[in-house]
Structure 1
Amino acid sequence: MARTQENRAGGGARSNTRSNGNGNGNNGKQRRNGKPRDEEGILPVLARAVREVESRAQRRHLNSDQRTTFQVVALLAREERTRVKADTELTEARRAEQLKRLDGIATILAKTATTDSTLFTLLGDDAEITADARALRREMLESAGLAVADDRPAVDASGDPDALVDRQVVPRSVVRRQLANPFQTPEYIDVTDLPTPARRLASWELLGPLFESFERATDGRASSMELPEDASRRTPAGPELMEHQAALVAAADAGHRTFLLADEPGLGKTAQALLAARAAKAFPLLVVVPNVVKSSWVREARRWTPGHPVTAIHGDGHDLDAFADIVVVNYDVLDRHVGWLGEFGFRGMVVDEAHFIKNRSSQRSRNVLRLSERIRERRARPLLMALTGTPLINDIEDFRAIWQFLGWIGEKAPTPYLLGKLEDTGLTPIDHQFSGAARRCVIDMGIVRRRKVDVASDIPARRVADLPVELDGEVGRSIAAAERELATRMVGRYDAAMAARGTPSAEMDLDLVHAIAVSERKDSEGSKTGENVFGMMRRIGRAKAGLAADYTAQLARSVGKVVFFAKHIDVMDAAEEALASRGIRYSSIRGDQTAAQRQAAIDGFTGDPEVQVVVCSLMAAGVGLNLQVASDVVLAELSWTDAEQTQAIDRVHRIGQDRPVTAWRIIAAQTVDARIAELIDAKAGLAARALDGSDTEAGSSADVQVQALEAMLVEALRAR
């Protein structure tokens, strides 16, 4: 039954006789301030705000203020959902009513985002929360009558709001530790280890040639430094390391202190980092991780380094044990703690899923780089480790922030140690041999890359199988019409540009095709009227949801447990509904879950033989999970990168897996979905070339979205 917009949003006009959650009408049940119970709190504030954004979106008038409102409403709705689920004082009826109202708000957010697909970027874990967004969040909470912690950025004595005071939040236990040990042991630099002074290369621009040396690598050699052989595989904790893990720990024990640990996902990077810290005596150790793997890091630290207490920072750090040897913090709260963390005296820092910092302008990247710089200023040779199985997402420039974190390069040039290594080659960028020598110098700074096929022969093979599906009926016709509309619009722009030149040509101008694709993508971000590639991919995902769930149910009945990945919440909802209708028990892993809810979902899937499927959000569950109890993965929606796809598959294909792993990729045939699958596969060649020494032809580093639009336009022009 259709619901009114007001009811979906949880606000607007309501009957005075509507239940208040206790079975009684609201008539005569007013609060002291005269407001009905349903009109108090944050929900009506969110409802009014989301209806305003929806109205503007329908008129195609979204500006930066409305985009900020959209993001803040989504954040507060997520927080409120978590609070409602955890509130033990709510009756079940009241809880159900509030969750229903939150579902209404979420529905309007989703509907609004379909009119401007760039709004989805505001919902990602890596979306920057601007000062305007923080101010609006505070304003909404205050208007709802809720207490608000002072999370506004502080300013220094100059009054410059961009000059943040170092300490924003200082947990009480940190103060106690500082009072207990006010002096830090000085560290001295070994003068025999000083870098060679730059002479020949002092005036050369070197960062460009360094990046190009990886992009053009065709020597067939993997990008991995030489590691000690015959390293001990025993650990104080008891578990025995694999040979490749022991080799990295031995390198740290021998004195190496910076690592870009780029092993393929599933090869045990967490254990290597923790034991490398023990070997390097790099305690206290700071570990920066995505929120979804924070509890996993705490468990792994207790397993691999039991003699070193571990603590995690939650929120403002009220329950932090500052006397612990290992401090785990997630990217999302780092901005509150970056001040005292920089002064704490850490001897080492590990950044997990280091590709999260590839955007150097983002707040999370600035925080990580600031902490790394402070640690390097205070410690002569700290242990710095960047962990990522997918260091290259789109472009070779993705290396830049990671290298800067490790202290290999600065903003404009290599730092002295790398520059000294380059100087020792006796070459300059005009020499033919410079590229290979420079690449080797960077690798020797600490790049470690091992593939499963090379070092983990006991891990079964992995394959990706595409399952084309036909989108029939009205849904299929609607998507086909949307693609035609988009292609027709781009053809019109092409023809107009050619006519304006006044020099007709029978040859297709591919430069013009590219320019129109770039412009179309940019216009889509600006909420241009008509269909766009982002909206179509979301519609295709919804159309595939039932088909993907059907195949998942068949797999579950024939092979056992299955991991199902989707990108959008509405696709997950549709899949779960389809699985339930077929009698398939499932658990669900989503971004709005608490740590306890998330762990319960994981335990249910891995420990309960009756739970056959786990339905996972690609963003929330694509990293940090061990789901090797299954050997089949269903990818119901495509991501925009091969890296995300690989991360998802490697939740299953990892150390301890004893069966071949198959990822079933559901592809909508004869749609843009199929084109994007081809482009994602082509782009996987970039990482193979840069890291694995492959001579596979690398795909272009241009955006997949632009390439998909180019392919659509070329096809439409050729069909005329």
Structure 2
Amino acid sequence: MPSAGSRTSNRSGRRTPRAQDPAPILPILARRVREVEAKSVKGKVGPTNRIKFQVIALLVREERARIKGDASITNGARAEVLKRLDGVATILARTAAQDTSLLSLLDPQGAPSAAAQRMRNEWLLESGAELSEEELVIKEPQQRKTTVVPAELADRQVVPTQVRARVRANPFLEPDLSTRIPAAENGYLSGWDLMDPLYRAFEQGAGGGAATMNLPAAPRRDIFSPAGLQLMPHQAQLLEAVRRGHRTFLLADEPGLGKTAQSVLAASVAQAYPMLAVVPNVVKINWAREVQRWTPQRRVTVIHGDGRDVDAFADVFVVNYAVLDRHLAWLSTLGFGSMVVDEAHFIKNLTSQRSQHVLALSRQIRERTPGNEPLLMALTGTPLINDVEDFNAIWQFLGWTDGRHPSPGLRRRLEQSGLTPADRGFYPEARSAVIDLGIVRRTKHDVAKDLPAKRVADLPVELDNEVGRSIRAAERELAQRLLTRYRRMLESREGGYDASAGPDLELMRRVARAELESSSPKADGENVFTMVRRIGQAKAAVAADYTAQLVHSVGKVVFFAKHIDVMDAAEQVLADAGLRTVSIRGDQSSKVRQSAIDSFQKDPEVSVAVCSLLAAGVGLNLHAASNVVLAELSWTAAEQEQAIDRVHRIGQEESVTAWRILAAHTIDTKIAELIDSKQSLAARALDGTDTEITSSETVQVDALVHLMLTAL
């Protein structure tokens, strides 16, 4: 395929339509727009079809302007062509409504990529158009200077007093270390869309090969730990790789295997200070403790609110996602030598502000570090939630891709194979190439064989009171509403539909996605969110009562719920049973939360930690208990596993059991089943198993489809 900077053809001349056809490109646009629309109905528009979408929008604009300005076309022909172009534009708008991330590609000011330019030329040549020499040249889009602070956040920026003191303490002006990252060299894969094949390489698995780079052997003597502490061999292996010069890591070890300690020591080994750690609010204090524990010679500061207490002369700066937007200006110029993103799956949504802030900071750090090689680490035991494309933001943070293309280094590695995405052998090579950039994945079974086993046990409970009956009635009502919409869409099809053909699952998923887009936990009326919340409220007392029984037989217990009112109800039941509890919630200050954790871990009189599934499901160590009660279910397998792994981690000496309280004969039991099925994604992509990936849809969509199928 042609490379960037080359010409797609040696033909020259002006661009003219075929005789007697004022717009020969239209049939091509109509065919291509239907292809993209079909992908959007399935809920996944991959990189290749995103390029198609952009090219269609570009050519529709060009054709509309050309037709309007061509005096040789009759008024009748002009009106007919414009009508057909409007039809294509309507399909584009409908497709963008299915996948709102496509809206940005409709921007007429957006510069088309090299791949989009090439596709545009190929379609025009296919239509019989003649292109000028200038049009045939593929132009690389100009590289834009990184902007860390968006204009709308400029007024919110704060500069702590200590930071000003640090600037004054430096008698020299800060040198401009920014370097222009060289443009990608031409190679035989430069004309290929490579992002979709890279994702597919992980989706297909690897026949038993775990997704972890080859790490050097751990030194015979622990040369990394301070006196009195000892690393496990798997931790020392990663640090040895850092000592030998590796600088980017997706550290995807299972929760509980000491990722924080590895990243803290990695900065010390690489001498990559100052270090910026972006972490969830719930673990800020714990991060500071880990820095002091593993690198006692280093100063650490935690950024709260507007940063009045920041020690600007510290070596390690810890900031949580929620306050990051206020500190972008000074963080982007402090000159960090390393950056760590903890619980990196938090940035998977590229449209969110926190993802954009994290990616802008990482780009700035890369550009301003001599050699463009800072230490960058993404920590997450659950990098994949619903789809392999959840890798996208993490790979961008690490500089492995820019979201549309692999980095020049990764592409060169792919070209060493001599294969293209058309070859079956390309995919295992592509997977290995990405892994070698720095994916490190170790499971507890592999590296902590002495860690006790864990199991998930389901406890179905009957909601046979009035509340239970109303929940089941609401489920039936929701299912009928969805079926009515589904049947209406079936009947609107040309030629009707054949009822004997069975349910149209793709159309059902489309109905389910539309229902979710119009629903929210706070909406009036019944939807899947309010229904699940009512189920949680109905289970609260039963789950708390079972927790009290567990305490009497096994000791300390961790109780998880999603909603505050469920936590409140459980705490009241436990208090009535004479049990002391601590609460870990999202609205607590870091100090209050850490005090609750310490009390649960060390005070024998504290029996139960009542935890928010979202606020306490990551980064905490609660291994004083070996039993977990899940009173409410999460929407993802990852969140459930994260919650259980607050207990099942290094330091645990007993077998761990997670008790899921399920409302029998309701959607609750189906959600549990779907959560379990989603575990196959990480197992296949990261651990190399041949487990089948059942669906890339969210649990919510699959749950609503289940309601419709059951009602049918």
TM-score range, shorter chain: 0.7 to 0.9
Q: Distance in 2 between matches of 1:490 and 1:279?
A: 57
Which residue is equivalent to 2:335? Answer: 345
Structure 1 residue 315 and structure 2 residue 309: aligned?
A: no
Shift of 1:287: 0.7
**Conserved 8 A contact 2:178-2:368:** no
Query: Are the counterparts in 1 of residues 178 and 367 from structure 2 also a CA contact under 8 Å?
Result: no
Distance (whole Å) between structure 1 residues aligned to residue 706 and residue 305 of structure 2: 46
Q: CA deviation at 1:505?
A: 2.1
Residue of structure 2 in register with 1:653 after alignment = 648
Is 1:486–1:530's contact at 8 Å kept on the other side of the alignment?
no
Counterpart of 2:99? none
Partner residue, 2:3: none
Could you say if the C-alpha distance between residues 629 and 188 of structure 1 is closer, same or farther in structure 2, counting changes exceeding 3 Å? same
- Separation (CA, whole Å) in 1 of partners of 2:374 and 2:489: 57
1:491 correspondence with 2:483: yes
Residues 487, 166 of structure 1: CA spacing in aligned structure 2 closer, same or farther, 3 A cutoff? Answer: closer
- Which residue number corresponds to residue 372 of structure 1? 362
CA pair 229-188 structure 1, distance change in 2 beyond 3 A: farther
State the distance in 1 between where 2:156 and 2:270 align.
Answer: 29
Whether the aligned pair in 2 keeps the contact of 1:368 and 1:405 (CA below 8 Å) is yes
1:327 aligned to which of 292, 317, 334 = 317
Q: 1:507 aligns with which of 485, 501, 506?
A: 501
Aligned match for 2:213, one of 213, 216, 225:
225
Preserved contact between residue 166 and residue 340 of structure 1 (Cα < 8 Å):
no
1-structure distance, mates of 2:326, 2:522: 34
Amino acid at match of 1:203: G
Q: CA deviation at 1:164?
A: 5.4
Residue 179 of structure 1 corresponds to 168
State the 1:168 CA deviation. Answer: 2.1
**Partner SS for 2:606:** coil
Equivalent position amino acid for 2:254 in 1: E
Contact 1:316 1:336 in 2 (8 A): yes
| Contact 2:206-2:428 at 8 Å conserved across structures | no
Once the 2 structures are TM-superposed, how far is the Cα of residue 296 of structure 1 from its aligned partner?
0.5
2:521–2:529 contact (8 Å) kept in structure 1: no
Pairwise CA distance, 1:555: 0.4
Q: Per-residue deviation at 1:519? A: 2.6
Amino acid at match of 1:215: E
Instruction: Identify which of 245, 258, 269 aligns with 2:248.
Output: 258
The answer on whether the counterparts of 1:210 and 1:439 sit within 8 Å (CA) in structure 2 is yes
SS state of the match for residue 267, structure 1?
coil
SS at match of 1:619: coil
Q: Which moved more, 1:310-319 or 1:421-430?
A: 421-430
Q: Which amino acid aligns with 1:243?
A: P
What is the CA-CA distance between 1:458 and the residue it aligns to? 1.6
Matched residue count: 557
Q: Name the SS for the 1:233 alignment partner.
A: coil
Structure 2 equivalent of residue 712 of structure 1: 707
Tell me how far 1:526 sits from its aligned partner: 10
Aligned residue for 2:515, secondary structure, equals: helix
**Alpha-carbon distance in 1 for matches of 2:485, 2:589:** 48
**What residue in structure 2 maps to residue 281 of structure 1?**
271
Partners of 1:284 and 1:325 within 8 A in 2: yes
CA distance in 2, matches of 1:166, 1:251: 42
Q: 2:417 aligns with which of 403, 425, 432?
A: 425
Structure 1 segment 405-444 matched on structure 2, within 5 A: 405-444=397-436
**Matched residue SS, 2:614:** helix
* Equivalent residues of 1:315, 1:333 under 8 A apart: yes
Partner of 1:466: 458
Say if 1:503 and 1:241 are closer, same or farther in 2 by CA, change over 3 A. Answer: closer
Q: Does 1:563 align with 2:564?
A: no
Which of 621, 627, 633 matches 1:626?
Answer: 621
Does the alignment pair 1:546 with 2:535?
Answer: no
Identity of aligned residues (%): 62
Please give the per-residue CA displacement for 1:230-289, whole angstroms capped at 9, x wherever unaligned: 324341343100010000011000100000000000000000001111111111111111
Deviation at residue 596 of structure 1 after TM alignment: 2.4
AA in 1 matched with 2:200: E
Using the TM superposition, give the Cα deviation of residue 186 of structure 1 relative to its aligned residue in structure 2, in angstroms. Answer: 8.9
SS of the residue corresponding to residue 620 of structure 1 reads: coil
Give the structure-2-normalised TM-score: 0.75
Rounded to whole Å, the distance in 1 between the matches of 2:454 and 2:708 is 35
After superposition, the Cα gap between the structure-2 partners of 1:525 and 1:240, relative to the gap in structure 1 and judged at 3 Å, is same
Q: 2:282 aligns to what SS in structure 1?
A: helix
Give the Cα–Cα distance (whole angstroms) in 1 for the partners of residues 233 and 175 of structure 2. 35
Does the 8 Å contact 1:195/1:417 carry over to 2? no
Question: For residues 163 and 240 of structure 1, do their structure 2 counterparts lie closer, same or farther at Cα, with a shift above 3 Å needed?
Answer: same
The 1-side partners of 2:603 and 2:327 are apart by: 39
Q: TM-score, normalised by structure 1?
A: 0.74
Task: Establish whether residue 534 from structure 1 lines up as the match of residue 562 from structure 2.
Answer: no
What does residue 73 of structure 1 align with? Answer: none
Q: Residue 529 of structure 1: CA displacement?
A: 6.3
Q: 1:167 to 1:572 in 2, by over 3 A?
A: closer
Distance in structure 1 (CA, Å) of the matches to 2:269 and 2:707? 54
| TM-aligned CA distance change 1:390 to 1:161, over 3 Å | closer
Work out whether residues 549 and 579 of structure 1, in 8 Å CA contact, stay in contact via their aligned partners in 2: yes
Q: In structure 2, the residue corresponding to 1:616 is in which secondary structure?
A: strand
Q: Does the residue aligned with 1:408 lie in a helix, a strand or coil?
A: coil
What secondary structure does 1:346 align onto? coil
Give the conservation status (yes or no) of the 8 Å contact 1:233–1:242.
no
Question: Aligned letter for 2:427?
Answer: S
**SS where residue 501 of structure 2 aligns?**
coil
> Which of 462, 469, 494 matches 1:477?
469
Q: Where do residues 564-579 of structure 1 align in structure 2 (5 Å cutoff)?
A: 564-579=559-574
- Offset of residue 423 of structure 1: 2.3
- The equivalent of 1:80 in structure 2 is none
Corresponding residue of 1:212: 200
Output the CA distance in 2 between the equivalents of 1:366 and 1:514.
30
**2:502 partner amino acid:** M
Question: What amino acid is the match of 1:340?
Answer: W
Match of residue 390, structure 2, among 398, 410, 414: 398
- Is the contact between residue 636 and residue 666 of structure 1 (CA under 8 Å) also seen in structure 2? yes
Local SS of the residue matching 1:688 = helix
Cα gap change, 1:523/1:542 in structure 2, threshold over 3 Å: closer, same or farther? same
Query: Would the aligned equivalents of 1:261 and 1:387 in 2 still touch at CA under 8 Å?
Result: yes
CA distance in 2, matches of 1:164, 1:629: 43
Cα deviations across residues 192-232 of structure 1 (Å, max 9, x unaligned)? xx999441111111111111111111321000000011324
C-alpha contact 1:198 1:420 (8 A) present in aligned 2: no
Query: What amino acid sits opposite 1:319 in the alignment?
Result: D
Which string of whole-angstrom CA distances, capped at 9 and with x for unpartnered residues, describes residues 329-387 of structure 1? 11111111111111111110001010111111111111101110110011121000000
Amino acid aligned to 1:472: D
Tell me the amino acid that sits aligned with residue 515 of structure 2.
E
SS in 2 for 1:683: helix
Alignment check: 8 A CA contact 2:177 2:367 kept: no
Q: Distance in 1 between matches of 2:434 and 2:183?
A: 14
Q: Deviations over 1:134-159 (max 9, x none)?
A: xxxxxxxxxxxxxxxxxxxxxxxxxx
Deviation of the 1:600 alpha carbon = 2.2
Q: CA 1:468 to 1:526, structure 2 compared with 1: closer, same or farther past 3 Å?
A: closer
Correspondence for 2:441: 449
Q: Quote the Cα distance in structure 2 between the aligned partners of 1:167 and 1:383.
A: 29
Contact 1:541 1:637 in 2 (8 A): yes
The 2-side partners of 1:316 and 1:655 are apart by 35
**Cα distance change on mapping 1:584 and 1:166 into 2, 3 Å:** closer
Q: Report Cα offsets for 1:535-571 as digits up to 9, x if no partner.
A: 1100000000011011100100000000000000000
Deviates more, 1:164-173 or 1:390-399: 164-173
With over 3 angstroms needed to count, the CA separation of the structure-2 counterparts of 1:504 and 1:185, relative to structure 1, is closer
Tell me if the contact between 2:252 and 2:381 (Cα under 8 Å) persists in the aligned partners.
yes
Long gaps (5+) in structure 1: 1-159
1:105-254 equivalences in 2 (<5 Å)? 162=151, 165=154, 168-181=157-170, 182=172, 197-231=185-219, 232-234=221-223, 235-254=225-244
**SS state at 1:664 partner:** strand
Which residue is equivalent to 1:668?
663
Structure 1 residue 521: Cα displacement: 2.3
Cα shift at 1:323: 0.9
Amino acid at match of 2:252: A
